[in-house]
Amino acid sequence: MRVGGLTLQQGGPLFLIAGPCVLEDDKLPFAVARELRDLCASLAVPFIFKSSFDKANRTRAGSFRGPGPQEGLALLAAVRKELGVAVLTDIHEPAHAEMAAGQVDVVQVPALLSRQTDLLLAAGRSGCAVNVKKGQFMAPWDIGWCIEKVLSTGNRNVLVTERGVSFGYGTLVSDMRAIPEMRKFGQPVVFDATHSAQRPSAAPGGVSGGDREMAKVLARAAVAAGCDGMFAETHPDPDKALSDGPNSIRLTEMAGLVRTWVKVREAVTGGSGAGV
Q: What does the pLDDT look like over 191-249, one tens digit per residue?
A: 999 999 887 765 556 667 778 899 999 999 999 999 999 999 999 999 998 988 888 99
Q: Quick one: which of 122, 133, 130, 184 has its CA closest to 156?
A: 130
User: Which of the four CATH numbers 3.20.20.70, 3.40.50.2300, 3.30.565.10, 3.30.950.10 does domain 2-269 have?
Assistant: 3.20.20.70
Kindly tell me the burial class for residue 213, based on how many C-beta atoms sit within 10 Å of its own C-beta (0-12, 13-18, 19 or more). Answer: exposed
Question: Domain map of the chain by residue range?
Answer: 2-269
Residues comprising the chain, all counted: 276
> Looking at 204-246, which runs of residues are DSSP E strands?
207-210, 229-235
| Spatial contact of 124 and 150, defined as CB atoms under 8 Å apart | yes
Q: What is the pLDDT of residue 249?
A: 95
Q: What does the pLDDT look like over 27-86, one tens digit per residue?
A: 999 999 999 999 999 999 999 999 999 988 877 788 888 899 999 999 999 999 999 999
> What pTM did the predictor assign?
0.94
